[in-house]
């Protein structure tokens, strides 16, 4: 089992920055890919960013490329999402997710590929 706890959400004006954190406990390690998803009100959950178990490979949704950066600190079992140049359309509940993957596999981008989920942290961006 993997437990994930997100933090760092909040309210920010457009153009501002936030850093989300995800603390992982339980079964962790280099075979566990980590990702951030988000779900806006009335919309489906969507992939935001993901990283491989070692952090060597990353993937981003087109809508956040160049503005968001995912990183992980394996020693601390932490994953971060640095969000810059925030836009009102980034407003959503952000979830941390984890998946046990084969070593060397691509970063998973589908929500059905992730086995473990946190409770989410709300990000609100005002115009």
Q: Where residue 85 falls among pLDDT bands split at 50, 70, 90?
A: very high
Collect all residues with Cβ–Cβ distance below 8 Å to 82 and sequence separation of at least 6: 17, 19, 68, 69, 70, 71
What is the pLDDT at residue 53?
Answer: 83
Min mean pLDDT across 29-33, 39-43, 114-118 is at 29-33
Q: Residue 44: is its pLDDT beyond 90?
A: yes
Report the percentage of the chain scoring pLDDT > 90. 81
Q: Dihedral through CA 46, CA 105, CA 70, CA 53, nearest 10?
A: 120
């Amino acid at each position: 089992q993997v437990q994930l706890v997100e933090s760092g959400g909040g309210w920010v004006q457009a153009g501002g920055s936030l850093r989300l954190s995800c603390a992982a406990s339980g079964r962790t390690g280099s075979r566990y890919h980590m990702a951030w998803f988000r779900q806006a009100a009335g919309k489906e959950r969507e992939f935001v960013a993901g990283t491989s178990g070692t952090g060597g490979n990353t993937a981003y949704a087109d809508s956040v490329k160049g503005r968001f950066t995912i990183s992980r600190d394996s020693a601390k079992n932490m994953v971060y999402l640095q969000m810059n140049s925030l836009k009102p359309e980034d407003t959503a509940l952000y979830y941390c997710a984890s998946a046990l993957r084969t070593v060397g596999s691509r970063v998973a981008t589908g929500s059905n590929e992730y086995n473990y989920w946190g409770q989410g942290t709300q990000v609100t961006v005002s115009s």
